[in-house]
């Protein structure tokens, strides 16, 4: 895409004035103008993606990356150098190793170990590709969350989802290409799904916000202000008067597009709330996602909604786990809070994976699970003996993928024996981005956008595709 340089300027001009619904570029053909629907660079392994974002940074050594050495040397001093930048620790503070309080067991045919925090996800382990060698560069929530979502912790850049919708568009004109459910308003906020200098149509559409019950959340202004028949009558008048106005300047495609958008918006008013209404799902499905349990209700709803959205052609759905104060940032109280967090997401995620699989969607849907960083293998001592926790660790942490053409039932990469640094098959966040784009059929080096005289891309000048995780 965008290889025809001569047209760069005029194409960008068209994008500035993109006359499009939610659908992305594909719909621009309604204009009869020369904007080709964007297409993939190579055969995609995944057509869509669900990102299960665990806000705050779950601990790798307590979930998917067991470290016997920690148990063995519990309480001893970490014998290796720590990174140059530490988030909270100063000097000799927080250097004692902390054994994981949770037992690991091997599951499935693959025998991949999972800690007792995730008994449900453990039953899906043969579908997972566990990547234990993620690393980033920013030890603070804001910078790391932005880095994960946009590739930059310090500059305003388009989000990964915006790049994907810019690259792929939506499969459904009535729905946005990129939806983010209950996004966090902190740590980069809208920038995490914003389009920066990409045209505004590629910005993620938020449903609700973190900390607010998602089943009550709605897309802005989707509730009709009048009855369907009244509104229909009103829109008909507007259409008629707009047509007369348009006849004065029949070549103006903006005016024409706006007339079409009116109809699109009217249809969306019914299609979107319908999608959000999960009552039409079977009792069995609702229970599987944990909608009947207070602990799992909210995240279960998010996961179910994610499935319903991708089923209808949304390209990327992000689900954020940050209900109220219970996100994964356990500087203290690891023992109580990590299990609480895990309980809220474990069953819904397992249900989602099984549901996707059963519907035949998992093959070409990439599921990604993880936080903005992991946690230190050393203890962050607080005054209270109970309040032990772990500090931020961007230097080695775990994410997992499922479906979408990745090697099911596999483990990729490794951290050192303490679980502090990624040492084997290291995957920087830029590499993660390159790999995700590749799975979706996009070449991270060719997915570019010219702004201020430069061609930008999600991975900046970095990014290696980790072909080792491909099925």
Partner 1 sequence: MLIMHFGHLILAGLLIPIPALAPAADDAGQHWAFQPIVREPLPVVLPTAHLLSPLDVFIQARLDARGMVPVPSGDRWTLIRRVTFDLTGLPPTPAEIEAFLADTRPGAWERVIDRLLASPAYGERWARHWLDVVRYADSNGLDENRAYIQAFRYRDYVINAFNDDMPFDQFVHEQIAGDLLPLVQLSETADQQDRIQRLAAKTRRHIATGFLVLGPKGLREVDGSKMELDIIDDQVATVGNAFLALTLECARCHDHKFDPISTEDYYALAGIFKSTRTMERIFNERGKGDGFWLEVDVPLDLSATTEWETEHYKHATQVRKLTAGLPPAVLEAANIAEQDRTNQQKQVLTDFAQADSKQGHTLDQLQKLRVTSPKKPAMGRAMVVTDGKIVDLRVMLRGSHLNQGDHVPRRFPRALSSQTTKMGAGHSGRLELAQWLTSAENPLTSRVFVNRIWQWHFGRGLVETPDNFGSLSGPLTHPRLLDWLADEFRAGGWSTKRLHRLLLCSATYRRGNRYEPRSAKVDAENELLWRFRRRRLEAEEVRDSLLAVAGTLDHAMYGSLLSLKARDYVDDAETGRHLVSYDNLRRGVYQPVIRNKVYNLFQTFDFPNPSMVNGRRSSTTVSPQVLLMMNSSLVIGCAEKLAEQVTQLPNRAMSERLNDMYLTVLGRSPDDLERVALLAYLDRYASRVATGTKRQRRQAAWNSLAQAVLMLNEFLYVD
Q: 37, 222, 414, 423: which one contacts partner 1 (CB under 8 A)?
A: 222
In the complex with partner 1, which residue's Cβ is closer, 103 or 258? Answer: 258
Window 242-301: residues binding partner 1 (CB under 8 A):
242, 244-246, 248-252, 254-255, 257-259, 261-262, 264-266, 268-269
The interface mask with partner 1, positions 300-339, x = CB under 8 A, is ------------------------xx--------------
- Dihedral pair phi/psi, residue 129, rounded to 5°: -120, 105
Closest CA to 62 of 395, 377, 400: 377
Dihedral sign from CA coordinates of 63, 339, 293, 275: negative
The 10 Å CB-count burial string (b at 16+, else e) for 270-291 is eebeebbebeebeeebbebbbb
Regarding 24 and contact with partner 1 (CB under 8 A), the answer is no
Compute the least distance from the CB of residue 365 to partner 1, in Å: 25
Closest CA to 219 of 208, 233, 235: 208
In the complex with partner 1, which residue's Cβ is closer, 187 or 308? Answer: 187
Regarding 1 and contact with partner 1 (CB under 8 A), the answer is no
Regarding 201 and contact with partner 1 (CB under 8 A), the answer is yes
Compute the least distance from the CB of residue 407 to partner 1, in Å: 29
State both tokens at 320. Answer: 């954020």
Window 346-385: residues binding partner 1 (CB under 8 A):
none
Compute the least distance from the CB of residue 168 to partner 1, in Å: 18
Regarding 88 and contact with partner 1 (CB under 8 A), the answer is yes
Compute the least distance from the CB of residue 268 to partner 1, in Å: 6
Compute the least distance from the CB of residue 201 to partner 1, in Å: 6
Pairing of strands 414-415, 422-424: antiparallel
Cβ atoms 423, 414 nearer than 8 A: yes
Compute the least distance from the CB of residue 453 to partner 1, in Å: 3
In the complex with partner 1, which residue's Cβ is closer, 86 or 414? Answer: 86
Q: How far is CA 376 from the centre of its chain?
A: 23
Cβ atoms 320, 184 nearer than 8 A: yes
Q: What is the C-alpha to C-alpha distance for residues 15 and 18, in angstroms, rounded to an integer?
A: 5
Regarding 220 and contact with partner 1 (CB under 8 A), the answer is yes
Query: Kindly report the CA angle at 298 between 355 and 181, in degrees rounded to 5?
Result: 80
Q: 106, 230, 270, 271: which one contacts partner 1 (CB under 8 A)?
A: 230
Window 50-79: residues binding partner 1 (CB under 8 A):
none
Q: What is the C-alpha to C-alpha distance for residues 43 and 441, in angstroms, rounded to an integer?
A: 5
Compute the least distance from the CB of residue 465 to partner 1, in Å: 15
Window 92-151: residues binding partner 1 (CB under 8 A):
137-143, 145-147
3-state secondary structure of 118: coil
**Which residues are CB-contacts of 247 (< 8 A; sequence separation ≥ 6)?**
none
- Among the listed ranges 34-42, 154-162, 340-348, 370-378, the one in contact with partner 1 (CB under 8 A) is 154-162
The 10 Å Cβ neighbour count of residue 220 is 8
């Amino acid at each position: 895409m965008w290889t025809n340089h001569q047209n760069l300027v005029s194409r960008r001009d068209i994008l500035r004035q993109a006359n499009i619904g939610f659908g992305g570029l594909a719909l621009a053909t309604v204009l009869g103008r020369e904007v080709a629907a964007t297409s993939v660079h190579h055969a995609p392994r995944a057509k869509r993606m669900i990102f299960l974002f665990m806000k705050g940074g779950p601990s790798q050594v307590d979930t998917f990356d067991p470290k016997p050495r920690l148990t063995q040397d519990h309480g001893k001093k970490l014998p290796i150098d720590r990174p140059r930048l530490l988030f909270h620790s100063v000097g000799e503070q927080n250097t004692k190793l902390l054994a994981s309080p949770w037992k690991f067991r091997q599951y499935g045919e693959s025998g991949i170990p999972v800690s007792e925090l995730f008994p449900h996800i453990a039953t899906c382990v043969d579908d997972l590709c566990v990547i234990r060698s993620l690393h980033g560069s920013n030890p603070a929530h804001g910078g790391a969350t932005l880095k994960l979502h946009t590739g930059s912790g310090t500059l305003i850049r388009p989000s990964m989802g915006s790049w994907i919708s810019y690259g792929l568009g939506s499969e459904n004109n009535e729905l946005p290409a990129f939806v983010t459910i209950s996004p966090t308003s902190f740590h980069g906020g809208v920038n995490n799904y914003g389009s920066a200098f990409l045209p505004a149509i590629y910005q993620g559409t938020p449903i609700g916000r973190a900390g607010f019950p998602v089943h009550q959340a709605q897309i802005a202004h989707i509730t009709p202000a009048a009855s369907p028949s009244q509104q229909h009558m009103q829109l008909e008048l507007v259409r008629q008067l707009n047509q007369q106005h348009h006849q004065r300047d029949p070549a103006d495609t903006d005016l024409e597009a706006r007339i079409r958008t009116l109809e699109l918006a009217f249809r969306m008013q019914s299609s979107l709330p319908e999608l959000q209404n999960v009552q039409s799902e079977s009792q069995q499905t609702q229970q599987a996602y944990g909608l009947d349990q207070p602990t799992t209700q909210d995240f279960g709803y998010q996961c179910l909604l994610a499935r319903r959205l991708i089923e209808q052609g949304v390209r990327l759905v992000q689900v954020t786990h940050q209900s109220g104060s219970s996100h994964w940032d356990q500087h203290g109280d690891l023992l109580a809070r990590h299990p609480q967090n895990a309980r809220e997401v474990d069953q819904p995620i397992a249900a989602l994976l099984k549901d996707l699989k059963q519907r035949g969607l998992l093959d070409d849907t990439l599921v990604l699970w993880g936080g903005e960083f992991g946690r230190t293998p050393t203890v962050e001592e607080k005054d209270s003996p109970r309040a032990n926790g772990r500090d931020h660790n961007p230097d080695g942490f775990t994410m997992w993928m499922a479906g979408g053409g990745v090697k099911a039932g596999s483990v990729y990469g490794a951290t050192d024996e303490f679980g502090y640094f990624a040492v084997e098959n290291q995957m920087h966040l830029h590499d993660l981005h390159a790999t995700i784009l590749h799975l979706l059929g996009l070449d991270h080096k060719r997915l570019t956008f010219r702004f201020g005289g430069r061609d930008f891309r999600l991975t900046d000048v970095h990014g290696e595709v980790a072909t080792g995780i491909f099925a």
